[in-house]
Amino acid sequence: QFRNLTKTKGGFPNDNSLLKLLFMGIQNASKKWTMPVRNWSLTISQLSIYFEGRLDKTLNL
């Protein structure tokens, strides 16, 4: 889906404008998301190790 967002644009004036476009694309895709994420518990445990202490407050670990 990111390819569809960026292929019609000729160029971006700066990196921030590209990031904003991709962020909006993620927001639109998340509204249509219906499938559960595979191995989500494994992903969360690995992220909590990598970002030690930062996810604990958010995810109530």
6 in Cβ contact with 19 (< 8 Å): no
User: What tokens does 54 get?
Assistant: 């930062």
Query: What pLDDT, on the 0 to 100 scale, is given for residue 14?
Result: 85
47 pLDDT higher than 80:
yes
Query: What pLDDT, on the 0 to 100 scale, is given for residue 42?
Result: 92
Query: What pLDDT, on the 0 to 100 scale, is given for residue 28?
Result: 85
User: What tokens does 51 get?
Assistant: 């970002």
For residue 5, count other CB atoms closer than 10 A to its CB.
16
